[in-house]
Amino acid sequence: MTAPEGPEALVRRGTVITAIALLGVAGVYVLAWGYTPIEARQGVAQKIFYLHVPSAWSALLAFSLVGIVSALYLWLNDPRLDRFAAASAEVGLAFSAVMLTTGPIWAKPIWGTWWTWDARLTLTLFLFFLFIGYLALRAALQDPGERARFSAVIGILGLLLVPFIHLSVYLFRTLHPQPVVLKPSRPSLPPEMLRTLLISGAVFLVLYVGLVTIRYGLAAAEEAGERGDAA
Amino acid sequence: MPSSDGSRLLEATGLWRAYGRRQVLRDLDLAVAAGEAVAVAGPNGAGKTMLLRVLAGLARPDRGEVRLEGRPLRRDAPHVRRAVGLVSHQTLLYDDLTLHENLTFAARLYGLPTPAAAARAALDEAGLGPRADESPRRLSRGLAQRAAIARALLHRPRLLLLDEPFTALDAAASERLRAELGARRQQGLGIVLVTHQLAEAWEVATRIAVLVEGRWACNEALAGSLEGFLPRYQELIRA
Amino acid sequence: MPEWLRLALVIAGKDLRAELRSRTAILSAVVFAALVLVVFNFARDPTALAAVDLAPSVLWVTFALAAMLALNRAFTIEQENAALDGLLLAPVPREALFAGKLLANLAFVGTVEAVTLPLFVLFFNVDLGAALPGIIGVTALATVGFVTVGTIFSAMAVRTRFAELMLPVLLLPFMVPPLIGAVQVTARLLAGRPLSEMLGWLRLLALYDLVFVILCALVFTAVVDE
């Protein structure tokens, strides 16, 4: 049983992209240590910000794509769209897990608490649960057509939930002002910090692309293999 | 082969459908005219049941089209579904409602003018009048089958689809079913009957179609005896 | 009346009749709600927190959990004897089918809430007084929100092996905005705060209802049609 060229080539390409991105992450580490200044109030621990924030962005990107691609799937019925959405969900789960672990690691030394209900952490926590729900549902369904349709429904509904979560957190916080120390440190960033953050964002984007390509390729290879068995 | 008299009840063209990873329908065509009864036979597998579901509008073909009385069966055209009735392996009845309530509900779904009366009449005609106020879970297989058929015919569809209806019926019930189908066919009902027991089909059908690996191994008018056909049938399904 | 509405009412009526016959979902949900209230009572320290501070959260957590029990019913009855096929065969637009199931679920959950509220007042000694109309209003608003999403998710969950577990896993994130809104408004109602303090939340609830009722009705066909 030979696997077709397509999926294998994808996995290879994805691995290359991911390797490049991981080098980029190492680069970001270097930048974070050497290049960026130490933040006055928060000290060295603040530097985890360069991993924490782009992970959150990537998780949100991953989720948005799941939602958009799901809507496209319901319209166009192409199984490749479903495969992409599933790959994006798995990668997004990983990114949100990273964000949710780096968040407390950052928060503890700076704010003295492991968890805060600030907008970014809360939203990412919801994304995490939505990803889990999405993947749990997929795991519980055998028929590929049903699995694709149901996942697409959750994807779309989940995407529309995000603005409501945001709105709820916003309303909650304006009515319950948090102590000043919990404000996310963003208003005016010195140029080195901003540059490093943007570079890190780009690196994480490449990492996302690489990981999704690998996952997509693996899924395609698996399906091709099964089709070979079943025919 | 499509009939030439123009009263084409069902016309399915170019049906493709996958189930899981297998293609169970491959570029399938089927036409049924009023008063025709097509027996669909073939080896076990998801093809025959899936074909019925596609013809009933319960499943969408990946490619191809189904037309009932000339109108395409599509999600956005619910009224087209009036033309068809389905008797499947399950009764489609609610155990928490009585037979009469079940059929009244079905009548309301189809927008019949006097739902309760229509339900009562259908049950009486099926010989289930005395048990109309019982739950379906109390009925024997044969009686439950009759209730399911009554429900399927309530809205006077022009096409009736049946999925292995003779399964687990005793001789008397089978005979009754055969007689009923024959009578209705004479009145112009089109029938598609899925079976893997050719003997049952032989008395009801006017045409035999054998589905093998998603394609018709044969699709022709019934001629001759069952005994004459059987060897050929074995040959076809072995292919 | 428009055909879709007639069909929705016919379907909802059938669900209500079947439920009245067997009474399984409503009874278990009500008993469950009462038990939850009892547990909450023993789980708190009466000297530390006044009942009225905790009341809105307790009430809404109870409503949410009880609702999830009741929601599974709407589609499990369609599983036996493949009755759902009967609905799909008929000339019923899928949006009407969704509306019918939604109405039935609202009736079930509403009934559970109507029984739970007096129990809550009893156990927690809360004085509803003038707040009652407002509480009923916000309850209706929030319930529509999470029952809508719950209806479509239960249609999906019922096809999996662990339906009772799958539904909460899928539904809980979606229950949060209506719950937050409901708790905030309920707390302010009980404290006698002016309406202006609740408008933001009420708008959130109303917008949530609007968006999700329409969206769920539109995607419902992807859940029931193969």
The 10 Å Cβ neighbour count of residue B154 is 22
Greatest mean pLDDT among A102-106, A186-190, B152-156: B152-156
**Per-residue confidence at A40, pLDDT binned at 50, 70, 90?**
low
Residue A187 carries which DSSP code?
S
Q: What is the pTM of this model?
A: 0.90
User: Which has more pLDDT, C41 or C144?
Assistant: C144
Taking the C-alpha atoms of residue B18 and residue A22, their distance in angstroms, rounded to an integer, is 40
pLDDT of residue B1: 41
Amino acid at B93: L
**Per-residue confidence at A181, pLDDT binned at 50, 70, 90?**
very low
Q: Which of A183-197, B53-67, C10-24 has the lowest mean pLDDT?
A: A183-197
Contact A144 B22 (CB under 8 A): no
Tokens in use for C129? 């007084």
Q: Which residue has the tokens 């680069």?
A: A27
B58 touches chain C (CB under 8 A): yes
For range C192-221, the mean pLDDT: 93
CA distance C218 to chain A (A): 10
Helical segments of chain B, H only: 47-56, 99-109, 115-125, 141-153, 171-186, 198-204, 226-238
pLDDT of residue A112: 77
Percent of chain A, pLDDT > 90?
30
CB of A126 closer than 8 Å to CB of C176? yes
Query: CB under 8 Å to B55, separation ≥6 — which residues?
Result: B10, B12, B30, B66, B84, B159, B161, B192
Residue C188 has pLDDT above 60, yes or no: yes
pLDDT of residue A113: 80
Query: CB under 8 Å to B78, separation ≥6 — which residues?
Result: C90, C91, C92, C93
Contact B21 A223 (CB under 8 A): yes
CA distance B53 to chain C (A): 9
H/E run at residue B94: none
pLDDT of residue B114: 94
For range C125-129, the mean pLDDT: 81
pLDDT of residue A50: 77
Three-state SS at C194: coil
Residue B107 carries which DSSP code?
H
Residue A231 has pLDDT above 50, yes or no: no
Name every chain A residue with its beta carbon within 8 A of the beta carbon of B18.
145
B196 touches chain C (CB under 8 A): no
CB of A208 closer than 8 Å to CB of A58? yes
Considering CB atoms only, which of A133, A149, A175 is closest to C173?
A133
Query: CB under 8 Å to A79, separation ≥6 — which residues?
Result: A144, A148
B-chain residue closest to C76, CA distance? B94
pLDDT of residue C54: 81
Q: Which of C34-48, C58-72, C80-94, C202-216 has the lowest mean pLDDT?
A: C34-48
For range A71-96, the mean pLDDT: 92
B165 touches chain C (CB under 8 A): no
CA distance B50 to chain C (A): 11
Name every chain B residue with its beta carbon within 8 A of the beta carbon of C89.
56-58, 81, 84-86, 92
pLDDT of residue A17: 83
CA distance B166 to chain C (A): 17
239 residues of chain B, pLDDT tens digit each: 444 444 588 999 999 998 877 889 999 999 999 999 999 988 877 689 999 999 999 998 989 999 988 888 887 788 888 999 999 989 999 999 999 999 999 999 999 999 999 999 999 999 999 999 999 999 988 899 999 999 999 999 999 999 999 888 888 888 888 999 999 999 999 999 998 778 888 888 999 999 888 888 888 888 778 888 888 888 887 76
How does DSSP assign A58-88, residue by residue?
HHHHHHHHHHHHHHHHHHH--HHHHHHHHHH
Per residue, what are the HEC states of chain A? CCCCHHHHHHHHHHHHHHHHHHHHHHHHHHHHHHHCCCECCCEHHHHHHHHHHHHHHHHHHHHHHHHHHHHHHHHHCCHHHHHHHHHHHHHHHHHHHHHHHHHHHHHHHHHCCCCCCCHHHHHHHHHHHHHHHHHHHHHHCCCHHHHHHHHHHHHHHHHHHHHHHHHHHHHHHHHCCCCHHHCCCCCCCCHHHHHHHHHHHHHHHHHHHHHHHHHHHHHHHHHHHHHHHHC
Chain B interface disruption, residue of C4, C17, C81, C95, most B CBs within 10 A: C81
Q: How far apart are the first and last CA of chain A?
A: 12
Pairing of strands B8-19, B22-33: antiparallel
CB of B89 closer than 8 Å to CB of B55? no
- List all residues of chain A from 88 to 127 with a beta carbon under 8 Å from chain C: 126
pLDDT of residue A201: 87
Q: What angle do CA C6, C7, C10 make, to 5 degrees?
A: 90
Contact B75 C221 (CB under 8 A): yes
Residue A185 has pLDDT above 60, yes or no: no
Q: Which of A22-31, B180-189, C164-173 has the lowest mean pLDDT?
A: A22-31
Give the tens place of pLDDT for each residue, B37-65: 999 988 877 689 999 999 999 998 989 99
For range C80-104, the mean pLDDT: 94
Nearest to C141 by CA among C173, C169, C183: C183
CB of A125 closer than 8 Å to CB of A150? no
Greatest mean pLDDT among A101-110, B103-112, C41-50, C183-192: B103-112
Chains linked to C by 3 or more Cβ pairs within 8 Å:
A, B
**Per-residue confidence at C107, pLDDT binned at 50, 70, 90?**
very high
Name every chain A residue with its beta carbon within 8 A of the beta carbon of C149.
157
